[in-house]
Amino acid sequence: MLSSKTKNNFLVPHEVWEDPKFQNLHLSAKHLYTTLCKIANRLSDDNGWFYRGINQLVNDTNLSKSIVIKAKRVLKDNQFIDIKRGYFEHSKQRTYDYFRLNGFRFKV
């Protein structure tokens, strides 16, 4: 179940925020997840996917590049987000990462 988009607010799912694994994460990972919730509210498609580059995430969070990379990995390893790599179709050069937040849909 995906959240509906709002104009002046964004949702952070209770299921994630109250998860003991999430509560034990470093503050930078929590900050990144909250920022991704804000971005998803504005940019996600009907399946919940949205793209964002590492430099954009650095600007969005005001965290260093190395901290954003580590926080991204921690969130993915703990299954709070899904990440797919984007590539240009013809040149196969790397583009942005595609993200989907797992707290807005039921896990099996």
In a domain, 78, yes or no: yes
pLDDT tops 80 at residue 108: no
Contacts of residue 38, Cβ cutoff 8 Å, sequence gap at least 6? 10, 60
The beta strands (E) that lie in 53-93 are given as: 81-87
Query: What is the model's pLDDT at position 89?
Result: 65
Q: Which domain covers residue 51, as residue numbers? A: 28-104
Rounded to two decimals, what is the model's pTM?
0.82
Is 15 inside a domain boundary?
A: no
CATH no. for residue 41? Answer: 1.10.10.10
pLDDT at residue 2 tops 70: no
DSSP assignment of 41-61 equals: HHH--TTS-EEE-HHHHHHHH
Number of domains comprising the chain = 1
Does residue 23 form part of some domain? no
Question: Rounded CA gap, 35 and 38, in Å?
Answer: 5
Residue 37 forms part of a structural domain:
yes
Mean pLDDT (whole number) for 11-25: 90
Greater model confidence, 64 or 6: 64
Separation between Cα atoms, residue 38 and residue 40, nearest integer Å: 6
